[in-house]
């Protein structure tokens, strides 16, 4: 509907005449009576004055419409007073009334029309009551009111045209903004997915590479397992990145469009995840509560990714065994990861891990809280609801006041078990 309206509007604009040319032609048409009278040889002084006034008034109707209306009304009253009969002034009065109604408000246009027609008619009644009291004399009202109605209709049409154009422009802007928003959302989703996929395995590779360099001279027999773990982790990273890229290319022109057959990660793959940490030398103590049950796909994926990122951060920024709690509550699932804070100063993390966990929890209508506890540990606590009718979860009460702790970034972790005397 809007497209057809815009096409008609464009055609109307292309066919429109130039205003100045139209006004000049109209002014000459109104002064034709005086010109004809002069040619016929009749006394045409009054007609010539009428023609000049009508000509000037019409030319002023676009730039000074109220001034033009005043000139035309005064001239018409003067002509009626002196008995000069020329319809040119009444026509000019109607044209100017049309211009006022078309370019001003409806109220102002009709007030001007009523005022001008009433003044002319009352003047006629005063000068020649027997002539102006006839029904035909009411034609001055009909002509001026018709011009005002036409101008009001044109004004309404122009307002409608502007509204259609504005609506089309806003719709176009909305479409562009929606497209940009979708691009940004897709970039955030891809970045989050790649971070979740790569961060864990890259951390394991970094640890294994550092451990291999550490034991190269003292325990050369342990280089083989370290390199094997690096090879396995790097292969996993490549496969998962290829899976993500394959899904993205499936939406491109010429893409296969086939969906990945790789199962969506969930808590069912938690033993595999913990095994990778155990192999890398990071013991994880898993504790389960509640009866295990299937979870919604969004909740299951969010729980797995939060556990994966929380364990990765615990490996990078903490020391000692990592505690992982998976609790199946009646209204959702709770994930909690904690370990001791590394005391040695180091470079702080980027914060993308915590941000990613919060975004994952938000996608499942849950929340994540993270921070140091009162016993020197750092805890990540996530609550993911599974029932749509369940009330929104509330964050747990704050821990006792603890001085702010800057969680450092670990540069490397030992591959082999910790020496005696170190916290395990």
User: pLDDT grade, residue 385 (50/70/90)?
Assistant: very high
Question: Distance (Å, rounded) from C-alpha 355 to C-alpha 202?
Answer: 18
- Strands (DSSP E) contained in 232-297 are 284-289
Q: pTM of this prediction?
A: 0.45
Q: Which CATH topology does 263-385 take?
A: Heat Shock Protein 90 (3.30.565)
Least confident range of 188-197, 249-258, 378-387: 249-258
Distance of CA 400 to the CA centre of its chain: 42
- The residue to which tokens 């003292």 are assigned: 218
Residue 329 is classified by DSSP as: E
- The 10 Å Cβ neighbour count of residue 153 is 13
Going from N- to C-terminal start, the domains of the chain cover 2-172, 263-385
- The 10 Å Cβ neighbour count of residue 72 is 28
Please check whether residue 92 is in contact with residue 30, taking contact to mean a CB–CB distance below 8 angstroms.
yes
Residue 324 above 50 pLDDT? Answer: yes
Residue 327 above 90 pLDDT? Answer: yes
- Strands (DSSP E) contained in 279-346 are 284-289, 318-329, 332-341
Question: Distance (Å, rounded) from C-alpha 45 to C-alpha 68?
Answer: 22
Residue 221 is classified by DSSP as: G
| pLDDT, mean of residues 366-382 | 90
Token pair of 93 as six digits: 């009065």
Residue 1 above 70 pLDDT? Answer: no
Strands 332-341 and 377-385: antiparallel
Residue 84 is classified by DSSP as: -
pLDDT digits (tens, 9 = 90+) for 228-285: 777 777 776 676 666 666 655 555 544 444 444 455 678 888 988 888 888 777 889 9
Distance of CA 234 to the CA centre of its chain: 39
Please check whether residue 396 is in contact with residue 381, taking contact to mean a CB–CB distance below 8 angstroms.
yes
Tell me if residue 195 falls in helix, strand or coil. Answer: helix
pLDDT at 288: 92
Q: Cβ contacts of residue 353 below 8 Å, gap of 6+?
A: 195, 199, 309, 312, 313
Token pair of 63 as six digits: 């730039």
**Angle made by CA atoms 44, 45, 49, in degrees to the nearest 5:** 115
pLDDT digits (tens, 9 = 90+) for 388-418: 544 444 444 444 433 433 333 333 333 333 3
Tell me if residue 9 falls in helix, strand or coil. Answer: helix
Length of the chain measured in residues: 424
Tell me if residue 380 falls in helix, strand or coil. Answer: strand
Residue 137 is classified by DSSP as: G
Q: Cβ contacts of residue 349 below 8 Å, gap of 6+?
A: 313, 316, 317, 407, 409
Q: What percent of the chain has pLDDT over 90?
A: 8
């Amino acid at each position: 509907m809007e497209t057809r309206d815009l096409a008609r509007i464009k055609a109307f604009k292309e066919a429109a005449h130039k205003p100045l040319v139209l006004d000049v032609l109209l002014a000459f048409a109104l002064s034709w009576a005086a010109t004809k009278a002069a040619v016929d040889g009749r006394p045409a002084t009054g007609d010539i004055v009428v023609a000049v006034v009508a000509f000037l008034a019409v030319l002023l109707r676009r730039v000074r419409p109220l001034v033009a209306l005043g000139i035309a009304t005064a001239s018409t009253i003067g002509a009626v007073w002196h008995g000069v009969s020329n319809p040119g002034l009444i026509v000019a009065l109607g044209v100017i009334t049309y211009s006022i109604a078309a370019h001003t408000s409806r109220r102002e246009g009709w007030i001007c029309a009523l005022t001008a027609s009433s003044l002319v008619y009352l003047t006629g009644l005063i000068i020649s009551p027997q002539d102006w009291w006839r029904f035909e004399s009411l034609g001055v009202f009909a002509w001026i009111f018709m011009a005002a109605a036409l101008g009001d209709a044109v004004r309404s049409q122009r307002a409608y045209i502007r509204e259609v154009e504005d609506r089309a422009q806003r719709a176009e802007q909305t479409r562009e903004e929606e497209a940009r928003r979708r691009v940004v959302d897709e970039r955030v989703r891809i970045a989050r997915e790649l971070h979740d996929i790569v961060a864990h395995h890259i951390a394991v590779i970094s640890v294994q590479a550092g451990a291999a360099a550490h034991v190269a001279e003292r325990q050369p027999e342990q280089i083989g397992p370290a390199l094997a773990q690096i090879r396995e982790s790097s292969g996993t990273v490549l496969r998962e990145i290829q899976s993500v890229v394959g899904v993205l290319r499936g939406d491109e022109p010429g893409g296969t469009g086939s969906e990945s057959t790789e199962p969506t990660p969930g808590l069912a793959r938690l033993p595999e995840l913990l095994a990778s940490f155990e192999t890398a030398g990071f013991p994880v103590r898993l504790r389960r509560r509640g009866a295990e049950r299937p979870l919604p796909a969004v909740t299951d994926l969010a729980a797995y990714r939060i556990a994966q990122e929380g364990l990765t951060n615990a490996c990078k920024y903490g020391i000692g065994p990592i505690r992982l709690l998976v609790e199946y509550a009646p209204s959702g699932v709770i994930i909690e990861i904690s370990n001791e804070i590394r005391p040695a100063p180091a470079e702080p993390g980027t914060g993308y891990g915590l941000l990613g966990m919060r975004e994952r929890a938000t996608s499942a209508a849950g929340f994540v809280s993270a921070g140091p506890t009162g016993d020197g540990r750092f805890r990540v606590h996530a609550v993911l609801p599974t029932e749509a009718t369940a009330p929104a979860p509330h964050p747990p009460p704050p821990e006792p006041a603890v001085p702010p702790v800057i969680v450092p970034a670990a540069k490397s972790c030992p591959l082999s078990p910790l020496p005696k005397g170190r916290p395990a």
